[in-house]
Amino acid sequence: LAQARIPGAFHAPLSDLAGAALPEAEKVVFFCASGNRTTVYADALANLAGDRDAYVMDGGIFGWFQAGLPVERG
């Protein structure tokens, strides 16, 4: 699952996110592999989201996959 993505999701490594232009959306959901890093950086990520509602996905991409939700590989 190291290279797994949620279909339709905007992908940017956490280390590059500060310089990334987030897509236009009313809500932003941040996630990493397990949810730990995004939880640690939740306040900083909320600041990046600006006026949008911002969320951190519990369990990250691993939790998404374990719930049987679709992923793309590569």
Which residues, in sequence order, are bridge partners of residue 29?
Answer: 55
C-alpha to C-alpha distance for 40 and 42, rounded to whole angstroms: 6
Residue 21 is among the residues annotated as catalytic for this protein: no
Catalytic-labelled residue, pool 32, 45, 54, 61: 32
Which phi and psi angles does 26 have, rounded to 5°? -75, -30
Q: Take residue 47 and report the two structure tokens written for it.
A: 């600041």
Active-site amino acid positions: 32
